[in-house]
Amino acid sequence: MVAQPPYVQTLPAEAIQQWTNSVVPRLKFSRSGTFHRLQQRLGAAEVEQVLRAAGRDLERMQPQLADALGIHKRLAADGFLEVGRLATALASSGQTVTVFISIYVQPAVTRSTVAAGSLLQDVSYPHAVVLEGFIPDQTGTLKDGYLFASKDGMSLELTPLADVSALEDAHFLNPFVPTASTADTTRIEELSMRLISGATTGMRRKTVEAHDVSAAISSLGLHQTVPGTMRTRQPLTRGLGSAVYVMPQKHTVRVGSSRVPEAKLIQWFANCVAALQVEAKATKLSNQLLAQMAKRTDMAKLTPVSFQLDYAVLREEGYGEEFTWKAGTDADAVQTEEQLLDAFDVPIDLLPSTVSPTALGPTGTRTFEGKIPTSPALTLRLEVSSDSCQVRSPTGARLGEFVDKTGASEPFLDFVNRLHAMRVSFTGATALYSADGAYASGDVQVAVDQLISFLTSTKDLDGVTSEKGDEPAGFAAYPQESSFRRIEDSGDIAKAASALICGDDRKEIFDYLEISVAERRTRWLHAKMTSGKAPDSPGSLSASALQEAVGQAQKNLAFIRMSSSDKRFTRRDSSLGWQLHAAEAVGHPAGPTSGRGCWGQPAGPGQIARRADG
């Protein structure tokens, strides 16, 4: 016969003590919590005060109905408390981290209510944990450490702790820490959100591209459920990489990890302490520019200055394929699609003062006016709330509507609002609202300094006087003083072992494309000349500011974006092989660029393929 469950009232004191003393090995800890800066090791009394307060919170969260029925019993009146247990762990970076562990556990046993007289029982372990981590200096002194606090996976109140302060934003730039010393540094490279088939489902897709996410753990409690497609890039040591596709509405990908035993929690915490200390001492972080320019913001007090339609979002939704535009029926309606797109081709300025909100406008919404340059002009009203923007017009019917393949229609502006297909800039370029939300620029000076640090110089461009120089008929190489020639000859600008492709045609997706098989890297090169005149030059050079070159590079990156509607070329229908064969069949060396390769049109007798033809 199975014995009755050992409830508290039948357990002797020594049995309770034995039960609670071995409670820690039973625990599985969540890595969701908060990190803080720690000036010095905390005192035992103040840590106990924080943990006892957490215990009272945990007690209030216990099932009240179970207590009333007498089937939920605490195994110890004061819970199990341990403060300041010393441990050491070797971080993945090779540094030894000193860790002090403080835990409060309030174990309880509950008799199952599935059936009357059931002999089953469940034991729960509500707990709070505080970890203090330090990397000793050369003298062995412990200071400037980090603290992790969690109350059963929730935030822990740390107000009584005077030596604890919040982390700077910079410490949250690398949310993943490798689990092994041989793993490469892991960081999120891209997190974007777009709509999939919005005309039919309205679903959003999130795309996460990261290095080796599967072998990493969340370092700052980032447990984020990401619906949609997730792609992972892996280090070279793990092969060429892999892709994990997750269908919306069917699966989720959890970035982070599940609960772990104490030993793994301490190891993870040591990795975090080492990584956070490295970032705290770094003068500049490699991704600080991106972080400074991508902070979520509240638009409640910001003033918009311009509105622009985001064509990219419309195209991603299937504009021209899944749905088409239809003109309105009013006499003064926009008649052609070209007129509609021309009206939104440039940013539309907004008046800085608000107008009276419409009766239907939600509370807290401010309205700003502008003019859509149609003929006649349309009044544009932008409604701005704390977290979204909506565009309206009293005569919006003049802009027509979108119609999908089923014949269902939706007014043009309603469709734009639903997709958030807009870019709204705010005073002083301090913030931007787009389909991904509202983001504000942070420390502009830091961002500018970081941008400057990206710029590098090379002696191989010394003496350049033109972008590509004169191109006489049948020329075999660009002039020695041109940027194009230096790009082809230089081993500094493009590696000698790379394939270098010239693409300077009318579309000009790039001036040069460098493909490095060894490094698995592709680079787009754009040659530009700054305005000015060389000392021995008879005239001025072609004028192109740095921002023009950068802007061109950014715009041309759109040509490499792959979507489900892009055509996948096969060997049979691709003419690439024929073009390369025709260029090589001429039988003439490529001059200074011999061995580097060039795409072009079939060459005539006695000449190589013209580089400027792409």
Write down the residue that tokens 């341990």 correspond to.
82
Write down the residue that tokens 């005073």 correspond to.
427
User: How far is Cα 386 from Cα 297, in angstroms, rounded to an integer?
Assistant: 8
Measured CA angle at 470 (ends 484, 581), to 5 deg: 60
User: How far, in Å, are 189, 353, 424 from residue 314 at the CA level?
Assistant: 24, 30, 16
pLDDT at residue 172 tops 70: no
| Secondary structure (3-state) at 413 | helix
Neighbours of 505 (CB within 10 A): 14
- Most confident listed range (140-154, 268-282, 536-550): 140-154
Please report the pLDDT score of residue 505 as a whole number: 65
DSSP letter at 236?
Answer: G
Model pTM above 0.85: no
Question: For a pLDDT cut of 70, what percent of the chain falls above it?
Answer: 52
Sheet holding 203-211, edge to edge: 188-196, 203-211, 230-233, 242-244
User: How far is Cα 387 from Cα 73, in angstroms, rounded to an integer?
Assistant: 46
Please report the pLDDT score of residue 462 as a whole number: 84
User: How far is Cα 607 from Cα 612, in angstroms, rounded to an integer?
Assistant: 14
User: How far is Cα 372 from Cα 393, in angstroms, rounded to an integer?
Assistant: 9
Report pLDDT digits (tens) over 308-352.
888 878 877 788 778 889 888 887 788 888 888 888 877 888 887
Please report the pLDDT score of residue 207 as a whole number: 43
The residue with greater pLDDT, 429 or 480, is 480
Please report the pLDDT score of residue 247 as a whole number: 34
Longest dimension (CA), the chain: 107
DSSP letter at 355?
Answer: B
Please report the pLDDT score of residue 232 as a whole number: 34
pLDDT at residue 577 tops 70: no
Cis before 376? omega within 30: yes
Please report the pLDDT score of residue 190 as a whole number: 34
Please report the pLDDT score of residue 342 as a whole number: 81
CA 584 and chain centroid, separation: 43
Please report the pLDDT score of residue 431 as a whole number: 80
Quick one: which of 79, 76, 74, 133 has its CA closest to 103?
A: 79
Mean pLDDT for the chain overall: 66
Please report the pLDDT score of residue 98 as a whole number: 95
DSSP letter at 475?
Answer: -
User: How far is Cα 509 from Cα 507, in angstroms, rounded to an integer?
Assistant: 6
Write down the residue that tokens 């320019």 correspond to.
293
> What average pLDDT does the segment 358-375 reach?
72
Give the chain's length: 614
CA 529 and chain centroid, separation: 33
Please report the pLDDT score of residue 102 as a whole number: 93
Report pLDDT digits (tens) over 40-81.
899 999 999 999 898 888 777 665 544 444 545 565 567 788
The residue with greater pLDDT, 291 or 14, is 14
> What average pLDDT does the segment 494-509 reach?
76
User: How far, in Å, are 64, 67, 171 from residue 80 at the CA level?
Assistant: 21, 20, 33
Report pLDDT digits (tens) over 80-91.
888 999 999 998
* 144-148, 494-498, 543-547: least confidently modelled range: 543-547
Please report the pLDDT score of residue 170 as a whole number: 47
